[in-house]
Amino acid sequence: MNQQHQNERTRIRQAMDRLLNDEATSSNGSLTIVALAAEAGVHRMALLKRHVDLKHEFYERVRTETQQVPEHEQKLRETITTLKKTIANQNTELQELRQLVTSLTLASAVLTHTRPTPSAPTPPPDNVFTLRPDRA
């Protein structure tokens, strides 16, 4: 590790301490990676690419020291809850549609079975006039 990399890691760890102690100087004080990067004076991508272990350490410290769930984890949990409700609703709707298909299939079979099959064509009613006379 070069000196610049080591200095960055030191600044990030100091920024963690300040954020967790509510002593933010360069950020809004929220317990997020964006605030941590601003507090440490590094680009956010440095935490996401070069110092992933420090990002995980920060979130673990947030969880243990403040008894809070990190913001990104809360959003994921909300999304999971919403998706579970959607899946449950779709499963219910699918079950209802399957029952409807079964009922309609049975009704169609009953109607088909009970329909009289004409052996000879039925003559038209008295009030119906053909436009072309039969040429038979």
Q: What is the pLDDT of residue 102?
A: 94
Q: Is the pTM of this model over 0.85?
A: no
Q: Which of 54, 33, 55, 53 is nearest to 44 (CA)?
A: 33
- Compute the distance between CA of residue 64 and CA of residue 126 in angstroms, rounded to an integer: 91
47 and 83 share a domain? no
The identity of residue 42, as a single letter, is V
In a domain, 123, yes or no: no
Q: What is the pLDDT of residue 116?
A: 63
In a domain, 133, yes or no: no
Domain of residue 8: give its range. 3-65
- Compute the distance between CA of residue 12 and CA of residue 18 in angstroms, rounded to an integer: 10
CB 2, CB 11: distance < 8 Å: no
51 and 8 share a domain? yes
**Where is the domain boundary, 34, 49, 65?**
65
- Compute the distance between CA of residue 113 and CA of residue 101 in angstroms, rounded to an integer: 18
In a domain, 17, yes or no: yes
- Compute the distance between CA of residue 57 and CA of residue 51 in angstroms, rounded to an integer: 10
Structure tokens at 38: 């601003």
55 and 101 share a domain? no
78 and 49 share a domain? no
Q: What is the pLDDT of residue 71?
A: 76
The identity of residue 3, as a single letter, is Q
Please count the structural domains in the chain.
Answer: 2
Q: What is the pLDDT of residue 115?
A: 62
Q: Which of 24, 129, 52, 99 is nearest to 91 (CA)?
A: 99
44 and 87 share a domain? no
In a domain, 135, yes or no: no
In a domain, 111, yes or no: no
- DSSP conformation class of 27: S
Q: What is the CA radius of gyration of the chain?
A: 36
52 and 79 share a domain? no
Per-residue pLDDT of the chain (136 residues; tens, 9 = 90+): 688 888 888 999 999 899 888 888 888 888 888 899 998 999 888 888 888 899 989 888 888 887 777 777 888 889 999 999 999 999 999 999 999 999 999 998 888 877 666 666 777 777 777 777 666 5
Q: What is the pLDDT of residue 90?
A: 97
